[in-house]
Structure 1
Amino acid sequence: MDDLISSESAGEGLWRIHNAMGEVCYLVEGAREAALVDAMGGFGDLGALVAGLIGKKPVKVLLTHRHADHVGGAHWFSDVWADAREASCWDVCERYAHIVAEHAAKEGYAGASTPFGPRDGARPRVHTTAEGDVFDLGGRTLRVVGLPGHTSGSIGFLCPELKILFSGDAVTPIECLCFTESSSVQTYKETLGKLRGLPFERFWTGHHLHDFTKKDLDGFESAVDFVLAGDRGYAWHHGFIPDWEGTIHFVPNGVNDVDSCDFRAVITRGLPAPSKLRPRP
């Protein structure tokens, strides 16, 4: 297996899988079958890596939301499960995936011979799931929880036996609510409130090798309150995807390192209005 993607044990029958571009997915094994929560962007043969960890045991691929950095690797599998609002995303996802692939080649993350799911695999069959559905793996279960905000159909998967919520991009230190498919800031605030009532001890995101807990929700709620209080923010443009832009709100919590898990920012839809400069007297 190439070193572009790697796995690490996070407990018995539980793995974090991550790649050089900061994407993370999770493999949960039960007595009867396994579940892969998200699938990263597609670089490296994720199907082969998963088979190397669990052998021939069946695996269900469960997607938290539609974005290419979470579904590209699904092309290595025959079937996936997603919220109905996320299920018809493949044309857009594959277009963005190829933009990311071009960037990865320029930056030296991957070359022409690197396995890449959207190019070398096949589009999977999509099955829809919804809040309250339960995937029984045998001794471990994953319950679907609606977490709108990042996208209107974002979902998480709660494993009560492990007391872990796999939350995708629903709650992250830099929360992106800037996409056409994103929900409102108020809806995101309601999702944060919902998280407090769920029976988990840790939540694991799609881009961090770090546990978050309910204590971290205070900082996330402060960030969204800062936006709702009227902060104007600054124009934000993605580094290499041309139509990803919005207004970024840097939360003044004393943490200025964007790579810190304690940093807080929210990116909302639309660019801020230009500042009106007063004429000099």
Structure 2
Amino acid sequence: MFERIKVKKLNDHIYLMDDNGEATGYLVIGDKKALVIDTMNGYENVYEVVRTLTDLPLMVVNTHGHCDHIFGNIYFDEAYMNPDDNEVAKEHMAFQEFVEACKKHNLHMPPFKPIKDGDVIDLGGLTLDIISLPGHTPGGICLLLKEDRVLFTGDGINHGLWMQLNESKMLKELLNNLDKIMYVTKEADYILHGHAQEMDNISLITALRDGVADLIETKGEGDKDYEWFGGVDKQHLFGDGKSAICYSIDKL
């Protein structure tokens, strides 16, 4: 039915939506409301995808302001995001291809409503705590689904963490922010990040934290180059040796 977005049921009320292998969004269905976490690239109508799974009232939350997490907002009336990422989102919303596509299809981005650290989302039988994690972007957030012990992390915690972006925080600040939320390792068993295909063990956050600490201590000595569309920076392997923190020297 849908060419790009493929849906995978993870348990009785969590669905993973994979957008052509480029980005991942989630649908969490409670007794009274349903929550969309990140809306991916916007090439396909994620609202229609969600409506094949639930007819409950919907709430949309963006984990951060990058295009592959917010562009699908165009199919909804509103979305919540940490205001600290408003400037990041504004920059991405100005991408020429996106502006032209919105004009062509008579679509527009709905307003962002604020959400912050400590807020709680009640879906009826399911509750999610908002946890701030500045690092990848200034306003990145995680969502802790208490009943299922699952932490949704966007791009803030994953196997390929980008810290080379202009908007990314200094690595020492990221380490400090990770230390502040290490308590979640006792409250969650699994992680679902913004480019996942399945659940990761919560130990990923500890491996990432230790990798950042190691990078700071070694100052990236021996790290190899990392080529991306913005140029060439560095990458520091951590955990299983297949995961990496991508960074620019000025973030050390």
- Once the two structures are TM-superposed, the CA of residue 126 in structure 1 deviates from its matched residue by 1.1
Aligned equivalent of 2:196: 208
Within the alignment, does 1:265 sit opposite 2:251 as a pair? Answer: no
* Residues 57-106 of structure 1, C-alpha deviations (whole Å, 9 max, x = no match): 1111101000001001111111000001113444422344838x99xxxx
Structure number with larger C-alpha Rg: 1
Query: Does the Cα contact within 8 Å between 1:159 and 1:165 map onto a contact in 2?
Result: yes
- Once the two structures are TM-superposed, the CA of residue 269 in structure 1 deviates from its matched residue by 3.1
Rounded Cα–Cα distance in structure 1 between residues aligned with 2:169 and 2:228: 19
Aligned equivalent of 1:19: 19
- Structure 1: gaps (5+ residues): 103-115, 256-262, 273-281
Rounded Cα–Cα distance in structure 1 between residues aligned with 2:117 and 2:94: 29
Summarize the Cα distance change of 1:266–1:62 in structure 2 as closer, same or farther, 3 Å threshold: same
* Residues 240-269 of structure 1, C-alpha deviations (whole Å, 9 max, x = no match): xxxx345222327674xxxxxxx1222223
- Once the two structures are TM-superposed, the CA of residue 270 in structure 1 deviates from its matched residue by 5.0
Summarize the Cα distance change of 1:132–1:19 in structure 2 as closer, same or farther, 3 Å threshold: same
Aligned equivalent of 2:109: 123
Alignment of 1:59-208 (within 5 A): 59-96=58-95, 98=97, 120=105, 121-198=107-184, 199-208=187-196
Query: Does the Cα contact within 8 Å between 2:74 and 2:110 map onto a contact in 1?
Result: yes
Rounded Cα–Cα distance in structure 2 between residues aligned with 1:231 and 1:269: 10
TM-score by length of structure 2 reads: 0.87
Within the alignment, does 1:2 sit opposite 2:2 as a pair? Answer: yes
Rounded Cα–Cα distance in structure 2 between residues aligned with 1:167 and 1:2: 26
* Residues 198-222 of structure 1, C-alpha deviations (whole Å, 9 max, x = no match): 1111111000113222323343234
TM-score by length of structure 1 reads: 0.79
Query: Does the Cα contact within 8 Å between 1:81 and 1:126 map onto a contact in 2?
Result: yes
* Residues 98-136 of structure 1, C-alpha deviations (whole Å, 9 max, x = no match): 38x99xxxxxxxxxxxxx778633211210011001111
Summarize the Cα distance change of 1:191–1:66 in structure 2 as closer, same or farther, 3 Å threshold: same
Within the alignment, does 1:225 sit opposite 2:213 as a pair? Answer: yes
* Residues 2-44 of structure 1, C-alpha deviations (whole Å, 9 max, x = no match): 2211111111121000121431011001111111011111121
Query: Does the Cα contact within 8 Å between 2:208 and 2:239 map onto a contact in 1?
Result: no
SS of residue paired to 1:170: coil
Query: Does the Cα contact within 8 Å between 2:215 and 2:236 map onto a contact in 1?
Result: no
Query: Does the Cα contact within 8 Å between 1:5 and 1:43 map onto a contact in 2?
Result: no
SS of residue paired to 2:200: coil
